[in-house]
Chain A
Amino acid sequence: AQSVTQLDSQVPVFEEAPVELRCNYSSSVSVYLFWYVQYPNQGLQLLLKYLSGSTLVESINGFEAEFNKSQTSFHLRKPSVHISDTAEYFCAVSLRGYKLSFGAGTTVTVRA
């Protein structure tokens, strides 16, 4: 069975500063990797996903994540955050199956 660990539960950051959210997973087989974002009182929205190919994936709003197979990590980064990036971020994995396994989430609070 696969599991996901998000190493930081809370990340406070100043506006325009960089941010990194760490995610490690455990699985003995290849997995698909996802980052979802949850804004207050909303459902989850897909930020980006890694299926295969280039280990660096990017989203349309400036986030990027790098798949590192040897370290079984899929860390999320953004070089300059905005107030609107305040949200909870979830890392998730799936095997060639049906379910997503989520980490516990990282709350990002961006301050002016």
Chain B
Amino acid sequence: ETGVTQSPTHLIKTRGQQVTLRCSSQSGHNTVSWYQQALGQGPQFIFQYYREEENGRGNFPPRFSGLQFPNYSSELNVNALELDDSALYLCASSSGQGAGSETQYFGPGTRLLVL
């Protein structure tokens, strides 16, 4: 069974640029959630996708957007990068539609540095 994978592992961008992060969910999972983890903090929920539809969103501006594909993999896009976007971006997959009780399985993350 393949776990959650994310690419790239590290990324350096400059302010104002755009970035796309990718996530492959664990086999059998149809739900993907994205989190931002700033240095020294806990992960913050960005949004969740269930069967290609956005299923909930945290307190992030519209320049954070996402997609989920028919194979349940997902992308996180961030436009107009700001210095504060520097963080570890975590993808988590799960099965079910956000009952809250299901376990979310996390990938290793993509570390983004904005200069």
- Residues of A at the B interface (CB closer than 8 Å) are 4, 31-32, 36, 41-46, 49, 51, 90, 92, 94-105
Contact = CB atoms under 8 A, between A and B. Distances in A.
Nearest to B94: A98
A49 B43 contact: no
26 contacts: A4-B42, A31-B100, A41-B108, A42-B108, A43-B90, A43-B109, A45-B106, A49-B103, A51-B101, A90-B42, A94-B100, A94-B101, A95-B100, A96-B100, A98-B31, A98-B50, A98-B55, A98-B56, A98-B98, A98-B100, A99-B45, A99-B56, A99-B98, A100-B45, A100-B104, A104-B41
Nearest to A43: B106
A101 B43 CA distance: 8
Interface in B14-58: 31, 33, 35, 40-45, 48, 50, 55-56, 58
Interface of B: 4, 31, 33, 35, 40-45, 48, 50, 55-56, 58, 90, 92, 97-101, 103-109
A100 B104 CA distance: 9
Nearest to A49: B103
Contact of A97 (B35, B98, B104): B98
Contacts of A90: 42-43
Nearest to A9: B40
Contacts of A51: 101
Contact of B56 (A41, A97, A101): A97
Given A98-B55, A99-B33, A99-B58, A44 B43 contact: yes
